[in-house]
Structure 1
Amino acid sequence: MYVCICHAVTEAQVRQAVSEGATDVKTLKRKLGVGSECGRCIQTTLEVIQSQLEIEPNYYEVA
């Protein structure tokens, strides 16, 4: 599924970026371009981020 049509960013790409540590929209905007054109993808991007963090919760805990 496409998350960001403007930059052809898929859900899989967002999940991969989150797995690599991009856990907020600002970072994903720099890395993938999501939310930098029309902004309609921001809510979906936030949902994908949250979903991925639920799958990998311990990975992101602060020491």
Structure 2
Amino acid sequence: MYVCVCKAVTDSQLDAAIDSGLCSRKQLVQCFGVGRDCGKCNKDIAQILDRKNACRLLQAANDAQLITKTREI
């Protein structure tokens, strides 16, 4: 699905960029140019970043919990 129609950027492209290390709106703007023209996509970009960052935090917490449980055994 297109997130930024002005720059023809999809949610899949943004997900891939975030997965490869981009972690801020500023970095996404620099990489894709999203949010500069009309700004209608800014809300969606923020939601995608929030979702991906929440997943990263959850994964990190799960990894830390797994390490702690492994040490207990």
Give the alignment's TM-score, normalised by structure 2. 0.71
**Number of residue pairs aligned between Structure 1 and Structure 2:** 58
Q: Which residue does the alignment assign to 2:9?
A: 9
RMSD: 1.1
Amino acid at match of 1:36: R
Given residue 6 of structure 2, which amino acid in structure 1 is its aligned partner? C
Structure with the bigger RCO (C-alpha within 8 Å, sep 6+) is 1
What residue in structure 2 maps to residue 44 of structure 1?
A: 44
User: Scaled by the length of structure 1, what TM-score is found?
Assistant: 0.81
5+ residue gaps, structure 2, are: 61-73
Q: Which runs of 5+ in 1 are unaligned?
A: 59-63
Question: Post-superposition shift, 1:56?
Answer: 2.6
Q: Which structure is larger by alpha-carbon Rg, 1 or 2?
A: 2
More helix by share: 2
Q: Any idea what the Cα deviations from partners look like across 1:19-62, whole Å, max 9, x if unmatched?
A: 1121111110010111111111011000011111222323xxxx
Identity of aligned residues (%): 33
What amino acid is aligned across from residue 16 of structure 2 in structure 1?
A: Q
